[in-house]
Amino acid sequence: MISALRNRKVQIAGQAVVITALVGGTAAFVGLNKQVNLVVDGQSEQVRTFSGSVSDFLESQEIEVSAGDQVQPGADADITRGMDVVVNTAKDVNLTLDGVSSQETTTANTVGQALAELGVDPEGADISTDLEASLADGQNQDVSVVTPKTVTVVADGKSKPVEITAATAQEVIDEAGVKLGKTDTLSLPASAPVTDGGVVEVLRTKTEDKKETETVKKKVTEKKDDSLERGKREVETKGKDGSKEIVFSVTTVNGEVVVKDKKSEKVVEKPVDEVVRVGTKAPEPAPAPKEDEGSGSGDGGSDGGSDEGSSGGGGDYSGDLSKAEIEEMLGGPGSRWHKIAKCESEFNPRAVNPNGHYGLFQFKLATWQSVGGSGNPIDASPQEQFKRAKILQQKAGWGQWACA
């Protein structure tokens, strides 16, 4: 290596200078001529020199120091008899560490020294080159190192730690003895590098056709019928839901659906349309009350306003409760409900107004039905009529009665 760095012609010229110096005087020669141990990239050689500094000495030896080279002692140091001058040149190393390649520069002289300088622990590792191999003269520049590591393999719902000196995910899977199907993949590319403590997951991928049955809803058609009372409904033609079969292409990864595409569908059973008759006939008017049921004043009840001549006023009537009991039920004089019932019907639960208002609170039939009543209010008990009146008040307010 030393000879490779020197210009041999210049060395001969230097020797001529030494001879001249010998002719000039033995004393001067002995005083200025010093023996130096020159070490270049680990190769040692004894050299005599007249140089005063390390830089002059290296120049006299035709050793060119480049950027990145290491010189010990420094270039400005004085040359002394018996000293060591060490030159370690910068060398390029193409390092592949666990599958990851990089270009490094080092002043180390062997592969082992270079790895130590680069912080790579060779203990237990697979190394492509002997640790004692020299890096001088551009030799052994390509170095591959695969370090030992523990990698967890996850497959088929199980986890398995694998201790291995491997560089890629595929090597780890092979070491774990896990077989991959044609459509199976890994959580990272098979050639991807792995690290200590890493995880490689096997993705079991499957695509298959699956059939599903869906309901085809029946169509319901309504038909108005004036032979039915308003609000009534009757099924004329009973319908039935149908069904259809759909084929999907389903792709799963470890049992989880990731893609679901419809391939085809066919009707297995056609739906049957349903026809419903909806009544539009007006209800029959309520029968007139018997004469002994009395008459009421009727201020219009739930529709407001008043009509003279409503039957069922303050006379005698038959019912579940007496007039006094009805007044007590309504809270007695001073109660708002007492005031309304007195004004509308004179506390007569059978009161009928010719304009279509009925009962204790003079309900219209439609209003009575809207609050859950059935039939005619006059056929209901006073308690039932009071219950429906309170429901109406909660829904529409006191304005339903002009007397309120």
Q: 133: domain CATH number?
A: 3.10.20.90
Same domain, 23 and 9: yes
Strands (E), 98-241: 100-106, 126-127, 142-146, 148-155, 158-165, 185-186, 199-203, 205-216, 220-229, 233-237
Q: 216: domain CATH number?
A: 2.20.230.10
Say which residue, 144 or 378, is predicted with more confidence.
Answer: 378
Note whether residue 232 is domain-resident.
yes
pLDDT at position 9: 32
| Band of residue 7 on the pLDDT scale cut at 50, 70, 90 | very low
pLDDT at position 150: 92
Is residue 195's pLDDT more than 60? yes
Note whether residue 266 is domain-resident.
yes
Q: Which of 281, 315, 342 is the last residue of a domain?
A: 281
Average pLDDT, the chain: 82
Rounded mean pLDDT, 96-109? 86
Note whether residue 17 is domain-resident.
yes
Into how many domains does the chain fold?
A: 5
Quote the CA–CA distance of 149 and 197 in Å, as a whole number.
7
Is residue 163's pLDDT more than 80? yes
Quote the CA–CA distance of 340 and 403 in Å, as a whole number.
5
pLDDT at position 16: 36
Note whether residue 329 is domain-resident.
yes
Q: Over the stretch 251-303, which tens digit does the pLDDT of each residue have? A: 999 989 999 999 999 999 999 999 999 998 887 665 544 443 333 333 344 44
Q: Over the stretch 351-379, which tens digit does the pLDDT of each residue have? A: 999 899 999 999 999 999 999 999 999 99
Same domain, 65 and 137: no
| Band of residue 14 on the pLDDT scale cut at 50, 70, 90 | very low
Same domain, 300 and 391: yes
Is residue 346's pLDDT more than 90? yes
Same domain, 161 and 138: no
Note whether residue 236 is domain-resident.
yes
Is residue 315's pLDDT more than 70? no
The total number of residues shown for the chain amounts to 404
Angle (CA) 88-49-66 rounded to 5° is 30
Same domain, 299 and 274: no
Q: Which of 88, 105, 123 is the last residue of a domain?
A: 88
- Domain extent, residue 133, equals 91-146
Same domain, 358 and 315: yes
pLDDT at position 196: 87
Is residue 304's pLDDT more than 70? no
Note whether residue 130 is domain-resident.
yes
Q: 395: domain CATH number?
A: 1.10.530.10
pLDDT at position 377: 95
pLDDT at position 202: 94
Q: 62: domain CATH number?
A: 3.10.20.30
pTM over 0.85: no
Same domain, 361 and 277: no
Is residue 188's pLDDT more than 70? yes
Rounded mean pLDDT, 123-134? 83
Rounded mean pLDDT, 324-335? 92
Same domain, 15 and 81: yes
Say which residue, 175 or 289, is predicted with more confidence.
Answer: 175
What angle do helix axes 336-345 and 382-396 make, rounded to 10 degrees?
110
pLDDT at position 207: 93
pLDDT at position 1: 53
Same domain, 183 and 212: no
pLDDT at position 269: 93
DSSP 32: H
| Band of residue 166 on the pLDDT scale cut at 50, 70, 90 | confident
Q: Which of 100-109, 213-222, 367-376 has the lowest mean pLDDT?
A: 100-109
Say which residue, 356 or 11, is predicted with more confidence.
Answer: 356
Same domain, 346 and 298: yes
Note whether residue 58 is domain-resident.
yes
Rounded mean pLDDT, 81-91? 86
pLDDT at position 290: 45
pLDDT at position 361: 95
Given a contact cutoff of 8 angstroms between Cβ atoms, the answer to whether 349 and 358 are in contact is: no
Same domain, 316 and 387: yes
pLDDT at position 329: 92
Half-sphere exposure for 81 (CA within 13 Å, toward CB): 5
pLDDT at position 90: 83
Note whether residue 196 is domain-resident.
yes
Quote the CA–CA distance of 198 and 281 in Å, as a whole number.
80
Q: Which of 55, 73, 88 is the last residue of a domain?
A: 88
Same domain, 375 and 396: yes
